[in-house]
Structure 1
Amino acid sequence: ASVWWPNKDHMYDEVDSMLISVKSPRGLMDVSNGRLRKVDEDTNTYHWFVANPINNYGVNINIGDYVHFGEKYDGEKGTLDMDYYVLRDNLEKAKEHFKDAPKMMEAFEYWFGPYPFYEDSFKLVEVPYLGMEHQSSVTYGNQYMKGYLGRDLSGTGLGLKFDFIIIHESGHEWFANNITYKDIADMWIHESFTAYSENLFLDFHLGKEASADYVIGTRTKIQNDKPIIGPYDVNTEGSKDMYYKGANMLHTIRQLVNDDEKWRQVLRGLNSEFYHQTVTTKQIEEYISKKSEIDLSKVFDQYLRTTKIPLFEYKIDGNQLKYRYTNIVDGFAMPLNILVDGKPQTLSPTADWKSQELDGDLSTLEVDRNYYVDHKQVK
């Protein structure tokens, strides 16, 4: 941002409001963040005002031969203006394709709470690149395709049920623009929750199984090359696994909470507790542990600070099951669901071998796929 205007170019510093004035070539218009206050006809200058705090990288200038259409959305905080600016030749196509936008708003207000910028409206703005989460002015360049440029990132077919850019980049309005990291090392706060929002969109519209299928399908994208959290105080982010490894960590935590309404209130509570704030991972981790009433500190350490995926090892001797975790951080003791004869049972593995007598045919044992762990039967 400091290339464009003098500012403290760091995420921990957000202005409380912003006036964006852009002089555009004749015959073209500028679309930026917030609401359009006025247009100076003599100079073709567009004045946009952002009434809410905004981070530097979210500021947005788009100049083109735009046409506008929009709708009113009856949301949790009242009537929300949803405006769409697209290139003239794409108007009819956009009117059909952007029907994903109110569906997105319905799902995300349910899961995350009210859209955080009612005062500034919500916009989708067509651009020549893929898109980005510019606050109240989400840019769109997915070429009017479902999925990610026509591809399903989950490999399940479910990724073609929605426009990836409309859903993902709009999810950032809650996680990135409402709740913003103080240090880019904690970028998982933005990307893990927003990648997770993709399957919550499916959960709302297609159900829990479809949601699980999608997020589990994205595990093929996980590299485990380096930790998700990067080094602090040097403006360096961690692994790109912050997207789908982070999403699968959150999906796993949902299983541990084992109460979908409680989990929904945790997600909504984050957006209320840290409304329009910059935060650290410590604040987010402690809030989730407190509100879920589960000490998740070792779960966060395992998935955010190492590249190791817990390995559930087990032995079967008649109706005796012996089991333990390996490849874990000290103190990791995450409960785990298994299925025996298709019936769920909960185990409490640790680094030490445990023995437990179980009913049913142990040769049918399966590890619940909703937990992001590896498993292996050993002799």
Structure 2
Amino acid sequence: MKKLVTASIIIASFQLHAQTELFDKQETYTRQDSLRGSITPERVWWDLKYYDLFVSVDPEKKFISGSNTITYEVLESANVMQIDLQEPMQITKVTQGQAELEVTNEGNAHFIQLPTQTKGSEGKVTIHFEGNPRAAIRAPWDGGYSWKKDENGNHFIATSNQGIGASLWWPCKDHMYDEPDNGMTLSIQAPEKLTAVGNGRLEKIKKNKDSTRTFIWKVVNPINNYGVNVNIGDYVNISSKYKGEKGNLDVDFWVLSYNEDKAKEHFEDAFRTLEALEHWFGPYPFYEDSYKLVEVPYLGMEHQSSVTYGNQYLKGYLGQDLSGTGWGLKWDYIIIHETGHEWFANNITYKDVADMWIHEGFTTYSESLFIEYFYGKEAASSYTQGLRLGIQNSEPIIGDYDVNSEGSKDMYPKGNNLLHTVRQVINDDSKWREILRGLNKKFYHQTVTTSDVESYISDQSGMDLSNVFDQYLRDARIPVFEYAVMGNRLIYRWTNCIASFDMPVRVKVGGEEAVLNPNSSFQLMEITDKNLSISDDYYIYVNEVKINKVPE
């Protein structure tokens, strides 16, 4: 027993390390938090259509410079535009046509003074920028540029900026509610002996006179800001195709030259992932932009159509199983988890970071679905239950709105267990799969709220699940099914929960299955057998109590 407890503590600690918050939880919020986290008047009047981003990267000086031309549609007449760029990066000039525009600053928010914009018109503005961007100390959690060297001494550079924001290194509309409807061009200038990999498809490589090359990447789908990434290294390309639900999907692996043979074998997990997740979630959402795995000097992240990888070519999470069950060592955690984000994060994107569980809960659940697809329901259930060791239940999963505040790190394992529990309540595996696929069809390339997701699942299941979502997302407690047996009566209720919690639960009494509908008041049921069991697939606690008197 002592060894078992020790092992559980080690696994739980490892899970907490693996699922560190992307930025610190705050007790109070500032004006800067509101400027970053809310849809301000200077944001709301214009709809983002296209980014044309150019960035020149100088590895020796750890310095970048470039420009971003933003195409937008005017929704309401206005003349002040908010653009975000974080210190120490600087905006050096803003132009519209031939005119240079005035810019005022308030911290990381920059307000461009435009001629009055006419409703219904389309405009363009070009922002020039430069500086030494923040270096990532512990990527991807703290965000920034990773300035590293590979084993051969070549520069090995990558960006990661979820949470802290894309404006850490390039000027943009840094709020998740608005994505460029028509995609973007990403041009990366790097030393000529290195290769630069971005999002989408490589359209052109231009050789420059200053011993650099510019790699021009094209994205045709909407893309969230933090999904835009720059990767520079001594890369080789392994190109293949995957025959998926929408036809042939171009699959490219960009890996360090000395890892080519290793990657050819290990990255087979990418094809297994695409197969399993297309089954559960529907077609890969970005066939037009291809699918890539790109080796980077940090653990990895879900950059759209450019999934970054740094799991050291190991199974599990850096060779460990987050569930402690053994099932997590049969596949590469980073390949499966970060690819799962192509559906939940990149296809379906939260509007406000407070709803980040939509990304992390569903994607952690995709790990269980991958296991189920290849190893069966029992294995998947075991993995899901194993992840409970990492749940703290100290604060709600949903964060604070309009201030760029993510919720509890429980959004990973508890989000997984919430969805697994909802599946038990619906009790129809075919319908559950239809719901998961339907989410990706209904909200294809859209930004959403938790309410959108909750309503869709409730509507499609034909059940009002609002109290279930309220309990697991907005309250930190895990409900307790409390019961007693007195003679031939089963007495039961929910405790340790919100007052309105009324989740139905299937039980077995003496081998006979029944569906109970507990609430916060004691209820009675006539039974002929005192043996009660409830499946461990529900994320609840079960507590048998003694009652001296049958409640009225």
TM-score by length of 2: 0.67
Moved more, 130-139 or 14-23: 14-23
Which one of the candidate residues 174, 185, 199 is aligned to 1:33?
A: 199
Following superposition, the deviation at residue 129 of structure 1 comes to: 0.4
Q: Residue 93 of structure 1: CA displacement?
A: 1.0
Aligned match of 2:273 = 104
Aligned counterparts of 2:539 and 2:464: Cα–Cα separation in 1: 18
Q: Which structure dedicates a bigger proportion of its chain to helix?
A: 1
8 Å contact kept, 2:239–2:252: yes
CA distance in 2, matches of 1:106, 1:346: 35
**Structure 2 equivalent of residue 281 of structure 1:** 450
> Aligned runs of 1:40-119 on 2, under 5 Å?
40-42=206-208, 43-119=212-288
Deviation at 1:207, TM superposition (A): 0.8
Q: Which residue of 1 aligns with 2:173?
A: 8
Give, in whole Å, the separation in 2 of the partners of 1:38 and 1:189: 35
Equivalent position amino acid for 2:359 in 1:
H
* Number of aligned positions between the proteins: 377
Once the two structures are superposed, residues 231-258 of structure 1 have per-residue CA deviations (whole angstroms, 9 ceiling, x without a partner) of 1111101100111111101000001111
User: Once the two structures are superposed, what CA deviation does each residue of 1:260-298 show, in whole Å capped at 9, x if it has no partner?
Assistant: 110011011110111111111111110110011110000
Please name the residue that 2:363 is paired with: 194
Q: Take 1:267 and 1:243, find their aligned partners in 2: how far apart are those partners?
A: 17
Are the structure 2 counterparts of residues 257 and 38 from structure 1 closer, same or farther at C-alpha, using a change threshold of 3 Å? same
In the alignment, what sits opposite 2:491?
Answer: 322
Distance 2:330 2:433 in 1: 23
CA contact (8 A) 2:353 2:404 kept: yes
Deviates more, 1:346-355 or 1:291-300: 346-355
2:192·2:207 contact (CA, 8 Å) conserved in 1?
no
Change in 2 beyond 3 A, CA 1:378/1:128 = same
Instruction: Deviation per CA, 1:288-327: give whole Å up to 9, x if none.
Output: 1001111000000000000011111111123321111111
**Which sits farther off after the overlay, 317-326 or 123-132?**
317-326
Post-superposition offset of 1:357: 1.8
CA contact (8 A) 2:356 2:407 kept: yes
The question of 1:163 aligning with 2:332 is answered: yes
1:377 to partner: Cα distance: 0.6
Distance 2:467 2:308 in 1: 37
How is 1:298-313 mapped onto 2 (pairs within 5 angstroms)? 298-313=467-482
2:389: which partner in 1?
A: 220
Q: Distance in 1 between matches of 2:488 and 2:314?
A: 52
Work out which of the residue numbers 139, 146, 158 in structure 1 matches 2:308. Answer: 139
Look up the SS of the partner of 1:303 in the other structure: helix
> In the aligned structure 1, how far is the partner of 2:320 from the partner of 2:533?
31
- Give the partner amino acid of 1:162: W
- Residue of structure 1 in register with 2:18 after alignment: none
| Further displaced range: 336-345 or 255-264 | 336-345
- Unpaired runs of at least 5, structure 2: 1-165, 547-552
More deviation, 35-44/136-145: 35-44
Matches within 5 A, 1:204-283: 204-283=373-452
Q: Deviations over 1:135-160 (max 9, x none)?
A: 00000000001110011001100000
Q: Radius of gyration: which is bigger?
A: 2
Task: Using the TM superposition, give the Cα deviation of residue 342 of structure 1 relative to its aligned residue in structure 2, in angstroms.
Answer: 4.7
Match of 2:536 among 369, 372, 375: 369
Work out the CA distance in 2 between the residues paired with 1:3 and 1:200.
34
Aligned-partner Cα distance in 2 for 1:78–1:113: 13
Report the secondary structure of 2:293's partner residue.
strand
Task: Give 1:44 shift.
Answer: 1.1
Instruction: Mark the runs of 5 or more structure 1 residues left unpaired by the alignment.
Output: none
1:336 offset after TM fit, Å? 1.0
- 1:22 aligned to which of 182, 188, 203: 188
SS at match of 2:191: coil
Q: Give the drift of 1:341.
A: 4.1
Q: Does 1:355 find its partner at 2:524?
A: yes
Q: 2:342 aligns with which of 162, 173, 191?
A: 173
**What do the CA deviations read for 1:210-236 (whole angstroms, capped 9, x no partner)?**
111111110111001110001111110
Q: Which amino acid aligns with 2:255?
A: V
- Give the match's secondary structure for 1:355: strand
What is the letter of the counterpart of residue 193 of structure 1?
Answer: F
Secondary structure at the residue paired with 1:79? strand
Task: Report if the CA contact (8 A) 2:508-2:534 is conserved.
Answer: yes
**Residue by residue, what CA displacement relative to the aligned partner does 1:13-46 show, whole Å, maximum 9, x if unpaired?**
2112111111111211001100000101234110
Distance in 2, Cα, partners of 1:90 & 1:357? 66
**CA RMSD in angstroms, aligned pairs only:** 1.1
Specify the alignment match of 1:332 in structure 2: 501
**C-alpha distance in 1, partners of 2:362/2:545?**
35
Q: CA deviation at 1:359?
A: 3.6
Once the two structures are TM-superposed, the CA of residue 346 in structure 1 deviates from its matched residue by 2.1
In the TM superposition, what is the alpha-carbon distance from 1:344 to its structure 2 partner? Answer: 3.4
Instruction: Output one character per residue of 1:115-139: Cα deviation in whole Å (capped at 9) or x when no partner.
Output: 0000000000001100000000000
How far is 1:105 from its partner? 0.3
Q: Secondary structure at the match of 1:228?
A: coil
Matched, 1:130 2:299: yes
Larger strand proportion of the pair: 2
| Distance in 2, Cα, partners of 1:371 & 1:286 | 21
**Distance in 2 separating the partners of 1:150 and 1:312:** 37
- TM-score between the two structures when normalised by the length of structure 1: 0.97
Cα distance change, pair 233–18 in 1 and its aligned pair in 2 (3 A)? same
